Structure 1
Amino acid sequence: MVNKWSKIIQNLVGFCKSSIDNTCHICYQTNTNNTEICDTCCQWLPWLREACQHCAYPLVDALLCGACLGKRHDLDHLKALFRYERPIKQFLLNLKFQQKLYPARLFAQYFLAHFEPNFCMDAIIAVPLAKERLKARGYNQSIEIAKGLSKQLAIPLYTDVLYKERDTKSQSDLNKQQREHNLKYTDFKLSSSFSGKRVLLIDDVYTTGTTLRCVAKQLKAQGVEYVEAWVICRSL
């Protein structure tokens, strides 16, 4: 019983501290860098450094991994900030399922600090959620991340032009083979023309890449010239 209450109190103290301005959400110490994570904790995050430009698999001194060599890619370039590990994994879960939006601001800041689009982009589009999932959650976490990017990069964000026409099982509950059969590129529809344009896609986690590949394939089928995607994490 003592251990139980000790843990509850510890979690409560942590929650109260993390809600104070200028407090790091990891160590709960005073933070002066205007983000939710202090510089010391930032150094220990699971950063993904060099990686394959099509699937973000970790590499050293190479542009493509063996699995991506010699293949046709509708997704022209993929960039990922982190490996899908704690504490970033927990921040994403907070963002997606706990109605906590502060990680969206944090991830947008990290995107801006570490990435630049390969070309001058014409539009930012967040990977859409299925209608039922969006209704239940109340927001699309990828749109929340993309809002800050759009403002700082001066690239228009389109929130209602790409939609998921068919509700499918959650990809997170499926294995690789099931994911590939669960989604088709025709499950996504584009309601406006972006023919000849360059599009920056925003999503949260890249696991097998099925979702992003389907979205990119639909965009290319509708005449989009170049598709680049930025994700928070790459699951390994």
Structure 2
Amino acid sequence: MSLLRRLPPVLRALLAQALAFAALVVLVRLGLRFPALVWVLLQAVLAVFLSRWLDLGPRWGVMQAALPFLVRALWGVPIPSWVYLLLFLGLALVFGGGLLTRVPLYHASEDAWEKLEDLLPDRPDLRFVDLGCGFGGPVAHLARVRPDSMFFGVEASPFTWLVAWLRCLPLRNASIRLGSLWRTELAGFDVAYAFLSPVPMPALWAKARREMPPGTRFISHSFEVPNETPHRVIPVKGREGARLLVFEL
């Protein structure tokens, strides 16, 4: 079960739909007969239940409930093949980096941004990096409230990077780079922040310890570093169990 919950959210969502559909197939094989709308409703209810079981948040539940009805509404509608190609390319641009790195796209709450403010050292010329910055919310916020310092973000998904880059473009002290966080040298940063998943945390912690000098700070949003005790744990609003784990190097 723990292995399933480590999958990227999009894969867990697909798994929930697949398991729900498999359950309906079993019911059909047992001889049950219902109107089409009832089957669609059952698919939606089962998918939502399984999504919660797989630790997906409320927003995923809404999408899971809507998907069977959307499929039913489009059933039999002639859709050009190029539409499917565009949908595939769009999903690849948004989620491609996450599927390759097994790091899903998470969004930190504004409360987390404000708590990050308080964790920045109170001195000018600070250098901060968000490893896997998504749409760039923390970088943009911190750059606005701390104009005396530099804030960087690294993002692997092209579309997500573009949104973050455009978001931070007006800010002279913010920079967003398209690329892998594993190719980002951490030696020049005072604070490194990551909101990733449990999967990369051991390797990322090893990278931070290897590259970041003494006196710097590593902050993980929600996900623990195995066998390491954080110096501070700060609860934040957002998804259940959201918190900032602060490690001093």
- Normalised TM-score (structure 1): 0.34
Which one has a bigger Cα radius of gyration?
A: 2
Higher RCO (CA 8 Å, separation ≥ 6 residues):
1
